[in-house]
A and B are shown apart, each in its own frame.
Chain A
Amino acid sequence: MKRSIIRTLCFLSVALIVSLPMSAVAQDTIKIGATEPLSGTFKDIGERYLDGVKYAAKVINESGGLLGKKVEVVPIDSELKPDVATRKAQNLILKDDVKFFCGGTGSSVGAAMSQLAQRENVIMFTYGMAAATMTGAKCNKNFFRACANTDQQSYALAELIARNGYGKVAIIAQDYSFGQEALAAFKKKLARANPSAKIVAELYHPAGTKDYAPYISQIIAAKPDVIFTPNWGNDLTLLLKQGRPMGMSQKIFSYYINDLVTIQALGDDSLMIGNMGAEVYTLSIPTKKNEEFVARFYKDMGYYPTWLRGKAYLATMFWAEAVKKAGTTDVNAVIKAWEGLTYDGPAGLWTMRACDHQTQMPLWFTEIAKENKFFKHAFEVSAGMATAQSVEVPCEETGCPGLAK
């Protein structure tokens, strides 16, 4: 008898100790959970995105907050694992009643978060997860994308290549869903924009390839005018590092060419100069609003809102506009308010399309040049833009069953 009583008391006391410190003080804030990899290999990417979200919250709070409340960013270390991200997000929903989540790294995390958002009726939006299916076949009403998807980015670059009259194109990508989707969209658009253009080489390599020589010699043998690749990270730097000395001198058109970290890691401007990219946000966007934003960010933080930071900032501001329009933090009201909403920010006019929750926006071309406004080393200069209409994928072609009723 004594034993069971002691045992029971033990369990009860531990349970009590556990529950005590968690009675958090209810604060009048709007919490937004940012799921990013904050440890591990992709820590650097996650931290830059988070930086952008935090800066957006700072700007909102300094101008009187959102609906009179302060915005609080809760970082969630996703470890780039969908199960970790959803588990932590679920806990935040249960514990603090968090209604808004965002994230930019890992389409696998995004897909799982999208499902969680639908189940728990919260909002998840992304500023970096690019897999087109997330607003296509897997779309749902609680998931929003405030950046370009693979279709839009491939469309923009195909348009740019067609516009410049290049006839022979070599394409190379990582052999997984992202790379395959990117090339498929590119081929589709190029065939429409310039029917006479030819794909002279189409290559797939495993993500994380170390030796590019076999692929590079195939590209060189095909004698293309230009090369298109959606590669990122090491797969982009190694392609350049190994390809240029072998004589692969063609211009490279790539999704993420304006990544400051890639350029600095390469440490050799000659590898990068002349390459072109297309993104929803670049430092060199020639609008007055962007110049003001860059100047203010630089004054506050001491560095530039390059690439990921800018993308995360813009998406968070767009979300804030939706909450403002809804006038409440009620999830259904915010969803309704965000559908069809336009946001006139530093990167032009953004519209959240109701049929699939994919933002329609212009994409900005950049070219890497020695002389630029921002750094001593080579960096991007503006090279025009693709209008939102020119990169639009019609609602019927997305594969999304249609969200707006």
Chain B
Amino acid sequence: MKQKNNSYIGIIVLFLLGALMPFILKRYHLNMLTEIIIFALYAVSYNLLLGYAGLLSFGHAMFFGLGAFVAAVAITHIQGLTLLSAVIISFATTVIAGFLIGSLLLRHKGSYFALLTLAFNALFYAVATKWHSVTGGDDGLSISRPELNLGFTSLSVSSVSSFYYLILVVVGATILFCWYFTHTAMGKTVLLMRENEERMKFLGYNTNISRLILFTFTGALAGLAGAFYTLHFQFVSISAISIDMTTAVLLMVFIGGTGTFWGPILGAFVYIVFQNYLSNITDRWPLFMGIIFVFMVLYVPGGLSHTIMTIRQWFSGRKDNHGDGPIKVEETSS
């Protein structure tokens, strides 16, 4: 119980710190932080698949891209659409897409599943490229950020700091919900399924349905991240739905580590910061990203979160249940 209280305090402190950032950081860094929070949601959603359920997907970008494109198309074609309605439309679309694709794919496991997701991603990419009249093809779609309508009042979120607050609250709350999800019975089921699916089946769980729910849920979260990505850059192009975007989230999750809930958030932070600085210094920044990835996989397979955990254990001199290898099934008394 004490541990849980500590987590709540930590979360509140983080949000308060986040709320202070516009007074501390310059606009450029605030803009970067907004991007980091959006990608953190994307990475967290991917880790729910990879770290929690042990499903390696190469097609997460199709949900991210779908969410991004649906938001952009909705804003372009529906006059006077408010920001939240656009987000809800794209969220609903990705839920449906996740459910349909999930029901097709989830009977397959391991590398079959991974390759099928890759194929579906390629399909989505091809549609985005060729359906020029809707997606803009290579040219992409430019939008202007609509106003935030709260029912009683309309707020403009065109400035860097106001949009940051919106992202901090909405996306932050979504990430928090993901954290809560991992502590629910459903979240535990996913973990146990990864550990021993046969046993879960014998205990009477329908693992296919549980997996489908998780797949739809993570897809919808990625779609949400995609919608906010569009709103952030006010532009979306086929890059958002390409395999590059899947590679990006893989890198974030691997850098941060799949072993903890907050690892991918750290990974998104490091990835975005590195990307911004490296691409300023050299045109060959993907090369360095690749080197970092290879290094992480070979020498720090647990990611940065694992390293931090180890250092902390070393300082406090006590053994901790967390932090090495995949996420552990916690012993709970509740």
Bound form: Cα–Cα A77–B239 in Å = 16
Within 8 A of A (CB), among B10-30: 10, 13-14, 17, 21, 24-29
A-contact 0/1 string along B292-334, CB 8 Å cutoff: 0000000000000000100010001000000000000000000
Q: A6-B312, A8-B17 are in contact. Are A119 and B236 (CB under 8 A)?
A: no
B276 touches A11 (CB 8 A): no
A86 touches B28 (CB 8 A): no
Point out the residues of chain B lying under 8 angstroms from A8, CB to CB: 10, 13-14, 17
Bound form: Cα–Cα A107–B139 in Å = 8
B142 touches A115 (CB 8 A): yes
A1 touches B9 (CB 8 A): yes
Q: A8-B10, A83-B237, A112-B237 are in contact. Are A119 and B144 (CB under 8 A)?
A: yes
Q: A8-B14, A39-B283 are in contact. Are A94 and B235 (CB under 8 A)?
A: no
- Whether B116 is near chain A, meaning CB under 8 Å from some CB there, is no
Point out the residues of chain A lying under 8 angstroms from B95, CB to CB: none
Please tell me which one of the listed residues A2, A82, A90 contacts residue B31 in the complex, with CB atoms under 8 A apart. Answer: A90
Bound form: Cα–Cα A6–B312 in Å = 9
B233 touches A87 (CB 8 A): yes
Majority SS at the chain A contact face: helix
B273 touches A18 (CB 8 A): yes
Within 8 A of B (CB), among A50-106: 77, 81-84, 86-88, 90-91, 94-95
Chain A proximity of B200: nearest CB distance (Å)? 32
- Whether B54 is near chain A, meaning CB under 8 Å from some CB there, is no
Chain B proximity of A1: nearest CB distance (Å)? 6
Closest to A80 in B: B138
Q: A82-B235, A111-B139 are in contact. Are A11 and B14 (CB under 8 A)?
A: yes
B14 touches A83 (CB 8 A): no
Chain B proximity of A249: nearest CB distance (Å)? 36
Bound form: Cα–Cα A389–B240 in Å = 44
Q: A4-B10, A108-B139, A119-B234 are in contact. Are A81 and B239 (CB under 8 A)?
A: yes
Bound form: Cα–Cα A6–B140 in Å = 43
- Whether A12 is near chain B, meaning CB under 8 Å from some CB there, is yes
B-contact 0/1 string along A1-31, CB 8 Å cutoff: 1111011101110110011001000000000
Point out the residues of chain B lying under 8 angstroms from A84, CB to CB: 239
Point out the residues of chain A lying under 8 angstroms from B14, CB to CB: 7-8, 11
Chain B proximity of A112: nearest CB distance (Å)? 6
Q: A38-B283, A83-B233 are in contact. Are A19 and B138 (CB under 8 A)?
A: no
Bound form: Cα–Cα A88–B240 in Å = 16
- Whether A352 is near chain B, meaning CB under 8 Å from some CB there, is no
A19 touches B10 (CB 8 A): no
- Whether B279 is near chain A, meaning CB under 8 Å from some CB there, is yes
Please tell me which one of the listed residues B21, B27, B140, B144 contacts residue A112 in the complex, with CB atoms under 8 A apart. Answer: B140
Closest to B160 in A: A94
Please tell me which one of the listed residues B25, B236, B276, B284 contacts residue A91 in the complex, with CB atoms under 8 A apart. Answer: B276
A86 touches B235 (CB 8 A): yes
- Whether A335 is near chain B, meaning CB under 8 Å from some CB there, is no
Q: How many A residues face the partner with a CB closer than 8 A?
A: 36
Bound form: Cα–Cα A81–B25 in Å = 29
B142 touches A83 (CB 8 A): no
Listed residue (B9, B17, B142) with the most chain A CB atoms within 10 angstroms of its CB: B142
B17 touches A12 (CB 8 A): yes
Chain A proximity of B266: nearest CB distance (Å)? 9
Bound form: Cα–Cα A10–B27 in Å = 22
Point out the residues of chain B lying under 8 angstroms from A82, CB to CB: 138-140, 235, 237
- Whether B64 is near chain A, meaning CB under 8 Å from some CB there, is no
- Whether A219 is near chain B, meaning CB under 8 Å from some CB there, is no
Point out the residues of chain A lying under 8 angstroms from B154, CB to CB: none
Chain A proximity of B32: nearest CB distance (Å)? 8
Bound form: Cα–Cα A8–B18 in Å = 11
Chain A proximity of B186: nearest CB distance (Å)? 26
Listed residue (A11, A90, A112) with the most chain B CB atoms within 10 angstroms of its CB: A112
Bound form: Cα–Cα A112–B139 in Å = 7
Please tell me which one of the listed residues A3, A87, A94, A119 contacts residue B28 in the complex, with CB atoms under 8 A apart. Answer: A94
- Whether A239 is near chain B, meaning CB under 8 Å from some CB there, is no
Within 8 A of A (CB), among B23-53: 24-29, 31-32
Q: A3-B6, A86-B233 are in contact. Are A39 and B28 (CB under 8 A)?
A: no
A-contact 0/1 string along B194-231, CB 8 Å cutoff: 00000000000000000000000000000000000000
Closest to B312 in A: A6
- Whether B99 is near chain A, meaning CB under 8 Å from some CB there, is no
Point out the residues of chain B lying under 8 angstroms from A10, CB to CB: 308
- Whether A116 is near chain B, meaning CB under 8 Å from some CB there, is yes
A22 touches B29 (CB 8 A): yes
B140 touches A108 (CB 8 A): yes
B283 touches A77 (CB 8 A): yes
Bound form: Cα–Cα A88–B275 in Å = 11
Chain B proximity of A46: nearest CB distance (Å)? 10
- Whether B163 is near chain A, meaning CB under 8 Å from some CB there, is no
Q: A4-B6, A83-B233, A83-B240 are in contact. Are A112 and B142 (CB under 8 A)?
A: yes
B284 touches A39 (CB 8 A): yes
Q: A82-B140, A94-B27, A112-B140 are in contact. Are A88 and B279 (CB under 8 A)?
A: yes
B235 touches A91 (CB 8 A): no
Chain B proximity of A164: nearest CB distance (Å)? 36
16 other A-B residue contacts (CB within 8 Å) besides A4-B10, A8-B14, A88-B279 = A4-B9, A8-B17, A14-B269, A18-B29, A19-B25, A39-B283, A82-B140, A82-B235, A83-B237, A84-B239, A90-B233, A94-B31, A108-B140, A108-B237, A115-B234, A115-B235
Binding site for A on B (CB under 8 A): 6-7, 9-10, 13-14, 17, 21, 24-29, 31-32, 138-140, 142, 144, 160, 233-237, 239-240, 269, 273, 276, 279, 283-284, 308, 312, 316
The 6 A-B pairs at the shortest CB distance, nearest first, are namely: A4-B10, A115-B142, A94-B28, A95-B28, A39-B283, A108-B139
24 pairs, CB–CB < 8 Å, chain A vs chain B: A3-B10, A4-B6, A4-B7, A4-B10, A7-B14, A8-B13, A18-B29, A19-B26, A22-B26, A77-B279, A81-B239, A83-B233, A83-B235, A83-B236, A83-B237, A87-B233, A91-B28, A91-B31, A91-B32, A94-B27, A94-B160, A108-B139, A108-B140, A115-B234
